[in-house]
Structure 1
Amino acid sequence: MLRRLADQFEISSSTHVAAHGIERDADWFLLKLQEEMGELTQAWNRLTGRGRAKGRSPEDMQQDLADETADVLGHLMLFARHNDLDLAAAIERKWLFRPAQTSKS
C-alpha cells in the first residue's frame, strides 16, 4: 500500500517538475519536505490565531491545513521513495504494527 501510494505521488511530482523545468537532485527531496513543513506550520499558526488570517475563513484555514498536510505526506513519500526506504518495515520496527495491505483485485 505504501509503495503504491509513493508511486502515485512520484507520477504526479514528475509530471509537475517536468512541466516547470525543475531538476530534482538528491537535496531537492529533503528541501521540498522542509519547505512544505514550513507551509504546514504557517497554516497551523493561522488556524490557531498565531498568524494573520489574511482574510481566510475558519473553514478555508481548516482546508489549508489539510492541503498542507497532504503536501507534507506527499513529499515525505517522495523522499522515502527516492532514498529507497522501506517505510512499511520501518513502521513495523518503530510503531510496532504492520501497515494494512490492499488486496490485489
Structure 2
Amino acid sequence: MILDLIAQFERASANYAAANGVERDADWFLLKLVEETGELAQVVNRVSGRSRSKGMGEAELHRLLEDETADLLGHVLLFARHHGVALDDAIERKWRFRPDS
C-alpha cells in the first residue's frame, strides 16, 4: 500500500515538474518539505486564531488544513523515495506496526 501511494505521488510530482520546468534535485526535495511544513504551520495558526483568517470561514480553513496536510504527506513520501528510505521498515521500528503491503 505505501509503495503504491509513493508511486502515485511520484508520478504526480514528476508530471508537475515536467509541465513547469522544475528540476527536482536533492535540494528540491528537502526545500519543498520545509516549504510545505511552513504552509501547514500558517494554516494551523489561522485555524487556532493565532493569525488572521483573511476572511476565510471555518469550513474554508479546515479545507486548507486538509490540503496542506496532504501536501506535506506527499512531500514526506517523495523525500523518502528520493533518499531510498525504507518507510515500511522505519514505521515498524518507530511505530511498532507494519503498514499493509
- Shift of the alpha carbon at 1:100? 1.8
Distance in 2, matches of 1:14 and 1:94, equals: 29
| Aligned residues between the structures | 101
2:8 maps to 1:8: yes
- Shift of the alpha carbon at 1:38? 0.2
User: 5 Å matches for 1:1-105?
Assistant: 1-101=1-101
- Shift of the alpha carbon at 1:70? 0.1
- Structure 1 runs (4+) deviating above 2 angstroms are none
User: Which structure 1 residue ranges, 5 or more long, are not aligned?
Assistant: none
Structure 2 SS opposite 1:59: helix
Q: Aligned residues: percent identity?
A: 56
What CA RMSD, in Å, does the superposition of the two structures yield over aligned residues? 0.6
CA deviation profile, 1:50-72 (whole Å, cap 9, x unmatched): 01101111100000000000000
Distance in 1, matches of 2:22 and 2:99, equals: 33
Q: TM-score, normalised by structure 1?
A: 0.94
Q: TM-score, normalised by structure 2?
A: 0.98
